[in-house]
Amino acid sequence: MFIGAIFSNMIIGLTGTPGTGKTSVSRLLQEHGYNMLYLTDLIKDECLYSEVDEGRDTLVADMDRVFSRVCELVGDDEGVNIIDSHMAHHIADVVIVLRTAPSDLRERLNLRDYSDAKIEENVEAECLDVILVESVEWCQKVYEIDTTGRMAEDVVSDVEEIISGVLSGNDAEVYQKYMPGSFDWSGGIL
């Protein structure tokens, strides 16, 4: 069950492989007045994980506890709430998947000093559409935005266009523009 089905507000997930621009876009959306929830920070800060995966250098989220906590945090918030996380599609009513060409993604993750193994895992996930496929499986409304070579401000404009379309109930044109499955980077697998 998704949060918006429980409460009268809308939950939008901003998701994508690490390095696709979620946090940069989310910070700008917050400046534009949207209620933001940074799920990765929440999981770390409130210990909402079941284990630490040392081999993959990541936390394994306890999604039942995460879901309960998110319900507590956004239950009374009016309007649009946006969840920033590569796992947001497991919670949100509407999902916007940020995508980046594998070569650009590799560069971005190198700048973050990710290990070679973690870079390859994330680049492979992007090539195979892992987050997009999960989003389509979990959510009724999924949109896809290419962030390759784009400024965060431009991506924010796309996100706001999608939100406006969804809120108006007339999102057919927006869906056509941001239809999932528009990008094929499967050739980027080494």
DSSP bridge partners of 102 = none
The set of residues, in sequence order, having a beta carbon less than 8 Å from that of 149 and lying 6+ positions away, is 104
- Does 19 appear as a known binding residue? yes
79 and 166 Cβ atoms separated by less than 8 Å: no
- Residue 101 has phi, psi (to 5 degrees) of -55, 140
Q: Distance (Å, rounded) from C-alpha 73 to C-alpha 95?
A: 19
- Does 4 appear as a known binding residue? no
- Does 24 appear as a known binding residue? yes
* Element holding 81 (H helix, E strand): strand 80-84
Compute the radius of gyration of the chain from its Cα atoms: 16
- Does 22 appear as a known binding residue? yes
- Does 103 appear as a known binding residue? no
- Does 165 appear as a known binding residue? no
Residues making up the annotated binding site are: 19, 21-24, 112
Residues making up the annotated binding site for ATP are: 19, 21-24, 112
